[in-house]
Structure 1
Amino acid sequence: MISEIANTIFQQAIDRYHQFDRIDHPLENPYERSSLKHLLYLKCWIDTVQWHMEDVVREPGIDPKDGLYWKRRIDESNQVRTDTVEYIDSYYLQLFAQVDPKPEARINTESPAWAIDRLSILALKIYHMEQETLRADADETHIQACHTKLAVLLEQRKDLSQSIDELLIDIAEGNKYMKVYKQMKMYNDPSLNPVLYSQKK
């Protein structure tokens, strides 16, 4: 099942990042470039790096210039993240290209890759919530609250993993069909963001 593979790879990427815990540590993807595993590892690495950028930019005393620097890096990361999700969907579109959907086939609320995107973010939430349960400097109330939240996150991962696997089976059997919409983000596009294109006048 793809969810088991994805969850294993996500944990691998998260653990690898935290060996160094440095935003600009070079990505070393261990998987063949043309493989789905490569995309899954890349996806979670991007998410992990961005998670820590989001932490930095929320420093209450951050210099506004530094805040703007990190905000722009986060915007760039979001674009790469979106592109990577769309590459994963392209993989599945090609995989299921020969499947003829049944006449009663239904469309899903989201594509397989965007569901996998949520699974990657969930892996990060689980990792960091578990770290909170291990803090020696936190009181017992905090630790117990984090244990409770961690249990919910683990249950959520189980449910989401099952849903992703079932979705892919449904698509493979023609019970559902894929229809992918490009995100068409506008704020990074100089021709679509009015603040950017007004500068050209």
Structure 2
Amino acid sequence: MSLTKTAWAIFNQSIIQYHLLDNVDAQEENPFEEGSLERILYSKNWIDTVQWHLEDLIRDENISPDEALFLKRRIDASNQKRTDLVEYIDHYFFEKYRHIPIKTDARLNTETPAWAFDRLSILALKIYHMKIEASREDAEVKHREKCRVKLSILKEQYKDLSLAIEQLLTDISEGSVIMKTYKQMKMYNDESLNPILYQKKKQHG
């Protein structure tokens, strides 16, 4: 089985497990071996799935300001965990391919393999939820029809993205694409880089 198909199965396993509980506070029960790529992929999607539903909650028009602020900070923390896992996945690929001889005409790609798998994880969530909307009995027929069209497009995106990821990994394994890792350098959570945070710290220092 190709790595994209393996990842797709893992992502959907995580999504189904989450929706058995359907609670943003549910604890992840990762079935894969500690330190394995499969375990990391499962955790990655679990974070994405929880965050998907946090984003739903924060858009409630009747949410209180205090609850919205709590959720916003929780989403920020989730984004940081998500980024950390993506970088960890890229480190896995970097180690796997670090000894591959690089061709003289090797090119750089616009995104790393891990960020492509990040897109695949989100796509799994989109397809899962669009399937629900496309068959929701309490929705209007027009709504269901629109969602079926969108679902068809999402499925095509899945095929295209899976193929593109496989092509990228093949090119890296053959030395045609340079495998590099990048830190995202997120600034909004860093007290030394976010002016709101470091000015506030200075005022109270």
TM over 0.5, shorter chain: yes
- Which runs of no fewer than 5 residues in structure 2 stay unpaired? none
Aligned partner of 1:80 in structure 2 is 81
Aligned partner of 2:146 in structure 1 is 145
| CA distance in 2: counterparts of 1:31 and 1:53, whole angstroms | 25
CA-to-partner distance for each residue in 1:62-111, whole Å, 9 max, x for gaps? Answer: 10110000000000000000000000000000000110110001111100
- Pairwise CA distance, 1:180: 1.9
- Pairwise CA distance, 1:200: 2.1
| CA distance in 2: counterparts of 1:39 and 1:109, whole angstroms | 23
| CA distance in 2: counterparts of 1:141 and 1:106, whole angstroms | 46
| CA distance in 2: counterparts of 1:181 and 1:29, whole angstroms | 27
| CA distance in 2: counterparts of 1:200 and 1:71, whole angstroms | 21
2:148 matches 1:115: no
| CA distance in 2: counterparts of 1:33 and 1:155, whole angstroms | 33
CA-to-partner distance for each residue in 1:27-83, whole Å, 9 max, x for gaps? Answer: 111111111001100000000000000000000111011000000000000000000
Give the secondary structure class of the aligned counterpart of 1:199: helix
- Which runs of no fewer than 5 residues in structure 1 stay unpaired? none
| Aligned partner letter, 1:146 | C
Q: How does 1:52-91 map to 2 (within 5 A)?
A: 52-91=53-92
- Superposed CA RMSD: 0.6
Runs of 4 or more above 6 Å deviation? none
| CA distance in 1: counterparts of 2:117 and 2:26, whole angstroms | 24
- Pairwise CA distance, 1:141: 0.2
| CA distance in 2: counterparts of 1:87 and 1:181, whole angstroms | 11
Q: How does 1:1-201 map to 2 (within 5 A)?
A: 1-201=2-202
The alignment-based identity, stated in percent, is: 56
Give the secondary structure class of the aligned counterpart of 1:176: coil
- Pairwise CA distance, 1:181: 1.5
| Aligned partner letter, 1:188 | N
Give the secondary structure class of the aligned counterpart of 2:29: coil
Aligned residues: 201
